[in-house]
């Protein structure tokens, strides 16, 4: 156990507890983003930032997570992969120990699995999918609705709250930190574990996680025909990039669903997002506006994609893409 003494005796609660996420041996990007989000919040609450990691190989993860801004890392050595009951018990036990003002979890598939259970067990209100927040004795959180067309502000009328944060909204924490790292015995009750991961099955050779890619070549309806997909595939190969798309391409069956960027697809935050023949509809932009650099190729100078693009080429993709392939090869 750490020597850290939380404020619990009727004092104002101010600490923030954030939970890291990993999959198949690697920490996910959101684990570093949640440090930035948690630090921002802890600076406003005036408390410490605690980071929890629940895993088999906790020591290696704790080393990687010890970045600037983290005050305390609590490791729960249990299991290799995500498990609903283990995470729920571990985060509940740590929250009981630390009494944080805010429990931050990723708004990921895993986070959405255990965050409601944690909030329920702790008797806390839950704000999901926050993209920004402020603290003024209580939390005010911003959420986006209707494909990012509308922003809603939630004022939480409670001293303590559970929150899930959207990936890609905060920068990844960097720099080496000096957090104290302590093993936490969460007292995991084996009998209360109702499910276990028994194995992983790859969906197929073409299966990739576009949300983890650094460079995305994304194709839209401007590509006109399935047989032309090969052209943008060649560009992706030449750039060492991953291929993604807008929804019509997936609806047409030209690329699998896991390549779709947007409101009903995946949220992506690559270093470079190359939008080819994509108009920039709000539902698409909702999934890629967090990209570092956006480059658009479109014949229509008034296409909305140019409103958010850092660089734009007004031109025919059937001229521009072959020229780019030649250049990069
Ligand atoms: P279009 O809007 O048809 O744009 C094609 C673009 O290609 C045009 O701008 C055109 O000027 C350009 N073009 C044409 N020919 C060329 C050429 N030769 N060279 C260069 N440019 C050319 N969409 C998503 O993408 N992801 C989602 O997750 C998503 N979820 C949705 C959820 C809901 C509930 C709804 C209602 C819609 C959703 N959509 C989603 C659909 C979205 O509204 C748009 O219809 C879609 O994003 C348009 O895709 P696009 O840009 O490829 O096609």
Could you give the CA distance from residue 255 to residue 227 in angstroms, rounded to a whole number? 11
User: What ipTM does this complex have?
Assistant: 0.99
Asked whether the beta carbons of 186 and 89 are under 8 A apart, the reply is: yes
**Does 210-328 match 8-192 at the fold level?**
yes
Nearest alpha-carbon partner for 91 in 162, 42, 34, 38: 162
Is 196 a residue whose pLDDT tops 90? no
32 Cα: distance to centroid of ligand 1 (angstroms):
31
326 Cα: distance to centroid of ligand 1 (angstroms):
27
* Mean pLDDT computed over 157-161: 94
Instruction: Give the pLDDT of residue 58.
Output: 94
What is the CATH topology of the domain spanning 210-328?
Answer: Rossmann fold (3.40.50)
Long-range contacts of the stretch 80-84 (C-beta < 8 A, 24+): 80/55, 80/56, 80/197, 81/23, 81/24, 81/197, 82/21, 82/22, 82/23, 82/110, 82/113, 82/197, 83/193, 83/195, 83/196, 83/197, 84/113, 84/114, 84/117, 84/194, 84/195
Nearest alpha-carbon partner for 20 in 210, 9, 72, 7: 72
Digit-coded pLDDT (tens) for 251-295: 999 999 999 999 999 999 999 999 999 999 999 999 999 999 999
Ligand 1 lined by 265 (C-beta under 6 Å): yes
* Mean pLDDT computed over 185-204: 84
Question: Which residue minimizes the CA distance to atom 16 of ligand 1?
Answer: 222
Q: Are strands 126-130 and 161-165 parallel, antiparallel or unpaired?
A: parallel
To which residue do tokens 């939630």 refer?
154
Distances (CA, A) of 95 to 34, 109, 121, 162, 178: 17, 21, 10, 10, 22
Nearest alpha-carbon partner for 218 in 273, 292, 285: 273
Instruction: Give the pLDDT of residue 2.
Output: 42
Out of 265, 281, 296, mutate this one to test ligand 1's pocket (max ligand atoms within 8 Å of CB): namely 281
Confidence bin at 209 (pLDDT 50/70/90): confident
Ligand 1 lined by 20 (C-beta under 6 Å): no
Instruction: Give the pLDDT of residue 9.
Output: 41
Asked whether the beta carbons of 141 and 132 are under 8 A apart, the reply is: yes
Each domain of the chain, given as residue ranges in start order, spans 8-192, 210-328
What's the whole-model pTM score? 0.66
Locate 83 and state its tokens. Answer: 């498990």
Is 112 a residue whose pLDDT tops 80? yes
**CATH ID of 8-192, from 3.40.50.620, 3.40.50.2300, 3.40.50.300, 2.60.40.10:** 3.40.50.620
Average per-residue pLDDT in the chain?
92
Nearest alpha-carbon partner for 102 in 66, 139, 71: 139
Out of 245, 257, 273, 283, mutate this one to test ligand 1's pocket (max ligand atoms within 8 Å of CB): namely 283
285 Cα: distance to centroid of ligand 1 (angstroms):
10
* Mean pLDDT computed over 213-240: 95
Ligand 1 lined by 260 (C-beta under 6 Å): yes
Helix, strand, or coil (residue 313)? strand
Q: Are strands 215-219 and 242-245 parallel, antiparallel or unpaired?
A: parallel
284 Cα: distance to centroid of ligand 1 (angstroms):
7
* Mean pLDDT computed over 22-44: 95
**Does the CA dihedral 329-212-148-45 come out positive or negative?**
negative
Confidence bin at 4 (pLDDT 50/70/90): very low
328 Cα: distance to centroid of ligand 1 (angstroms):
26
């Amino acid at each position: 156990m750490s020597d850290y003494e939380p404020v619990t005796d009727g004092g104002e609660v101010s600490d923030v507890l954030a939970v890291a996420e990993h999959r198949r041996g690697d920490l996910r990007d959101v684990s570093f983003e949640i440090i930035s989000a948690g630090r921002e919040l802890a600076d406003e609450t005036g408390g410490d930032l605690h980071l929890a990691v629940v895993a088999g190989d906790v020591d290696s993860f704790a080393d990687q997570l010890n970045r600037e801004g983290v005050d305390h890392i609590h490791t729960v050595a249990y299991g290799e992969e995500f498990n609903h009951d283990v995470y729920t018990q571990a985060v509940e036990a740590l929250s009981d120990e630390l009494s944080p003002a805010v429990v931050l979890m990723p708004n990921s598939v895993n986070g959405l699995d255990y965050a409601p259970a944690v909030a329920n067990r702790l008797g806390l209100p839950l704000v999901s999918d926050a993209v920004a927040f402020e603290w003024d004795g209580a939390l005010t959180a911003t959420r986006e609705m209707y494909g990012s067309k509308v922003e809603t502000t939630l004022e939480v009328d409670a001293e303590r709250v559970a929150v899930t944060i959207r990936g890609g909204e905060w920068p990844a924490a960097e720099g080496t930190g000096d957090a104290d790292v302590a093993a936490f015995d969460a007292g995991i009750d084996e009998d209360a574990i109702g499910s276990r991961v028994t194995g992983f099955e790859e969906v197929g050779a073409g299966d990739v996680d576009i949300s983890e890619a650094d460079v995305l070549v994304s194709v839209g309806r401007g590509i006109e025909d399935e047989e032309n997909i090969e052209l943008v595939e060649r560009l992706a190969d030449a750039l060492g990039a991953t291929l993604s798309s807008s929804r019509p391409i997936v609806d047409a069956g030209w690329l699998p669903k896991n390549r779709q960027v947007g409101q009903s697809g995946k949220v992506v935050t690559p270093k470079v997002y190359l939008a080819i023949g994509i108009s920039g509809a709000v539902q698409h932009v909702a999934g890629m506006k967090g990209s570092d650099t956006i480059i658009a190729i479109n014949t229509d100078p008034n296409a909305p994609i140019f409103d958010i693009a850092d660089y734009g080429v007004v031109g025919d993709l059937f001229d521009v893409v072959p020229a780019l392939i030649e250049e990069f090869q």
